[in-house]
Amino acid sequence: MSWLLDDFFMRALFGGLGIALIAGPLGCFIVWRRMAYFGETMAHAALLGIALSLLMDIFPIGGVFAVSLLIAGVLYWLERLDRLSTDTLLGILSHASLSIGLITLGFMTWLRIDIMSLLFGDILSISQQDIMIIWGGGALVLALLLSHWQSLLASTISPDIASAEGLPVTRANLLFIFLIALVIAVAMKLIGVLLITSLLIIPAATARQFSLSPESMAVMAAFIAALAVYIGLQSSLQWDSQPGPSIVLSAFSLFLISLAIGPAILKVIRKRSS
C-alpha cells in the first residue's frame, strides 16, 4: 500500500475518496434539512480558522474546527434575539468570516500563503499524513453518524415528534453541527473553502433522484461523490485543469444526468420493489 501513496495522483485519489465517503451521507442531512447556506457559512468560516491557527501557531485543523463551532454558536445566539431571519444572519456571518479571514492572512506578510489553494483546494499536494488525518476523521464521522442515525433522522423529519418520543433532538442537532465542522476541517485542503459545500450538497441532491429510502440515498450519495472525485481528477490530468473545480464540475455533470434519467430509473426500482 505504501508504494501506491508515493504517486501524487494515488494520494489525491485516496484522500478524495476518504472525503467522498463522509461528505455524501452527511450531505443528505444538509439537503433534507434545507441547510445548504448553513454549510456554506461554516465553510467560509474555515478560512478564518486557518488564519487564526497560523497566527497563533497551532494545528490548522484544530483552528478550523474551533472557529466553525464558534460561528455556529454565534448564529444560535443571534437567532434567539429574533431580530433577523436565519438566512440573513447566515449571509452576514458567511461573508464577514470570509472577509476577516482574508484580511488577517493579508496582514501576515512574514508568511508565504497561497490564497488560491485555500479557496479552491490543492488535492494534488496532499501528503501521506494528510491521508491518515482524512481517513481517521472520516472513520470518526461515520461512526458517529451510524451510531446516532435514528435520532438524527427523526430530528430532521419532525423535531416535535422526535421530542415527544423522547429522542435527544438538541443533542442530535449539536452533533450535526459538530460533524459538519469536522468534515470541513479535514476536507478544506483538498477542495477549498469555496467548494466544500458543493461536494456535500451536489452528490446528495443527485442521489435523491434514485433513492427510495434515507439509507439508500446516503449510500448512493457516497458512491456519487466518490465517482465525482475520480472523474474530476482524471479530467484534471487530461486537460490540465484545477482539480477542485474539476471535481465539482464532475459532480454537477452527474447531477444533470440524474435529472434526465432519474425518473425512469426510479420508476423501474419502484416496480421491482413492489
**CA atoms of 237 and 251, how far apart (whole Å):** 17
**CA atoms of 52 and 127, how far apart (whole Å):** 23
| Closest among 167, 235, 173, 131 to 35, alpha carbons compared | 173
Q: How far is CA 233 from the centre of its chain?
A: 18
CB 248 within 8 A of CB 198: yes
For 160-217, write each residue's pLDDT tens digit. 777 777 777 778 888 888 888 888 878 877 888 778 889 999 999 999 988 888 999 9
User: b/e for 134-164, b at 16 or more Cβ within 10 A?
Assistant: bbebbeebbebbeebeebbbbbbeeeeebee
Q: For position 191, what pLDDT does the model report?
A: 80
**CA atoms of 254 and 210, how far apart (whole Å):** 12
**CA atoms of 247 and 199, how far apart (whole Å):** 8
CB 194 within 8 A of CB 120: yes
Q: H/E element holding 6?
A: none
pLDDT tier at 274, thresholds 50, 70, 90: low
* Domain count of the fold of the chain: 1
Query: Which residue matches cell numbers 415527544?
Result: 164
Contacts of 63 (CB under 8 A, 6+ apart): 49, 50, 52, 53, 54, 56
Q: What is the residue range of 235's domain?
A: 4-273
What grid cell was written down for 158? 419532525
Residue 94 sits in a domain whose CATH number is 1.10.3470.10
Q: Is the pLDDT of residue 263 over 60?
A: yes
DSSP secondary structure code for residue 192 in this structure: -
What grid cell was written down for 124? 494534488
H-type alpha helices, 82-213: 86-107, 115-120, 128-147, 149-157, 159-164, 169-191, 196-207
Backbone angles phi, psi at 105, to 5 degrees: -65, -35
For 87-113, write each residue's pLDDT tens digit. 888 888 888 988 988 888 888 877 777
Q: For position 2, what pLDDT does the model report?
A: 47
For 130-153, write each residue's pLDDT tens digit. 888 889 989 999 999 999 898 899
Evaluate if pTM is beyond 0.85. yes
What is the average pLDDT across 65-82? 79
